[in-house]
Amino acid sequence: MSSLEEVERSTDRVDRRATHADRAPRPVTGMGAPFAAFSVRKLVPDPRYYAPLFITGVLLAAHLSVGLLESPWQTGLAIVTSLVTELILGRLYFGKWPHLASAYVSGISVGILVRSSYYWPFALCAAISIASKYVFRIRDRHLWNPSNFGIAALLLVAHAMPHGDAEWMSTLSVQFGNSVGPMVVIWMLGSFIVSRLRRFHICATYVVSFFAFALLRALITGKSFESQYAPITGPMYQLFTFFMITDPKTTVRTQKGQMLVAFLVAAMEAVLRLAQNIHAPYFALFTVGPVANGVEIWLDARRARRKQGLQP
């Protein structure tokens, strides 16, 4: 879900045939700039707000219906920390106030996906997520999906600690239940939004790949096929399928490339699942995303050099 803001940015890119320069956070001038974009007039038609609106809607619906959030204050802290970190780092880095839609979605993603009875992991994860965008950059393009990086990094830290000292964090355990209803709603909404963003092929590739790898895992482990494809039938996995896998930062520009990346994410997840990694989806994205981006950046650079070489 942390990729939703990137999905929106990618819409701009697809529609306007954008260049790489468009991938960088779009600086907006003036002190009021970070909030100017939230005007009602702009809110509805601007596709960049589909994602924040959708994820806010999902959060509110889930919390009001099934009490998704143990503490709304924790989610609020994650959002505020994310926004403040983005403002500070963005201002220092670009010299201008950054657009806040992306940071908002990162914050809300952290607020949903992190589970802890403490407050500090929410603030910490949000700050790490945003900071990662500014640290791991090549050619002004960040490599990791921010909240995927934040969550995966903190999970790695937790696993590096003595067993009894790591009770401060886990990922989402309270879900939207296991019934068909929420799944259908998410499928409908997800299909609509992802189709509008011309990324449904990524979801389809991932789902088909997941089932294929589930069958393979069942054959390797001797477990039932049902138990191996079971995770993808849960509503939370639908969010992962529609909105994390479609993240431009974990995919690449071309349609074939995007499908290849989706396949590789499923493949990496299968490897991690065979190794009995509980957080396999997070770590699959965490590893495949930057590699895919790195390869594309390298290919682009090579192409640019060749182009320059051909020019008289």
* Residue 69 CB, nearest approach to another protein (Å): 9
Residue 183 DSSP label = H
- Look at residue 152 and give its three-state secondary structure: helix
Residue span binding another protein (CB under 8 A) among the ranges 10-18, 49-57, 193-201, 225-233? 225-233
Separation between Cα atoms, residue 42 and residue 31, nearest integer Å? 18
* 70 is a site residue for another protein (CB under 8 A): yes
| Smallest distance, another protein to C-beta of residue 116, A | 6
Q: Give the E-state strand segments of 38-134 in sequence order.
A: 97-98, 114-115
What does each C-alpha distance from 84 to 50, 61, 152, 194, 228 come to in angstroms? 22, 26, 21, 29, 41
Q: Is 66 in the site for another protein (CB under 8 A)?
A: yes
Closest CB to another protein among 179 and 308?
179
Give the nearest distance from C-beta 267 to another protein in angstroms. Answer: 18
Q: Is 92 in the site for another protein (CB under 8 A)?
A: yes
Q: Residue 88, exposed/middle/buried by CB under 10 A (0-12, 13-18, 19+)?
A: middle
Q: Contact 187/44 with Cβ under 8 angstroms?
A: no
In the complex, minimum distance from the CB of residue 194 to another protein, in angstroms, rounded to a whole number: 21
- Give the one residue of 29, 224, 254, 255 binding another protein; rule: CB under 8 A: 224
Site string for another protein, 255-294 (x = CB under 8 A): ------------------x--xxx----------------
Which residue, 224 or 255, has its beta carbon nearer to another protein? Answer: 224
Nearer to another protein, 47 or 231 (CB): 231
CA distance 256 to 114: 33
Residue type, 185: V
The phi, psi pair for 144, rounded to 5°, reads: -105, 145
Residue 40 or 92: which CB sits closer to another protein?
92
Contact 146, 285 (CB under 8 A): no
User: CA–CA separation, 72 vs 199, rounded Å?
Assistant: 32
127 lines the binding site for another protein (CB under 8 A):
yes
How many Å separate Cα 232 from the centre of its chain? 17
Q: Which residue in 29, 117, 254, 255 binds another protein (CB under 8 A)?
A: 117
User: Which residues, 230 to 259, sit near another protein by CB under 8 A?
Assistant: 230-231, 233-234, 236-237
* Residues 104, 83 contacting (CB under 8 angstroms): yes
Lookup: tokens for 39: 């005007």
Nearer to another protein, 258 or 287 (CB): 287
Q: Which residues bind another protein (CB under 8 A)?
A: 66-67, 70, 89, 92-93, 115-118, 120-121, 124, 127-128, 131-132, 134-135, 137, 153-155, 157-159, 161, 163-170, 173-175, 177-180, 183, 223-224, 226-228, 230-231, 233-234, 236-237, 273, 276-278
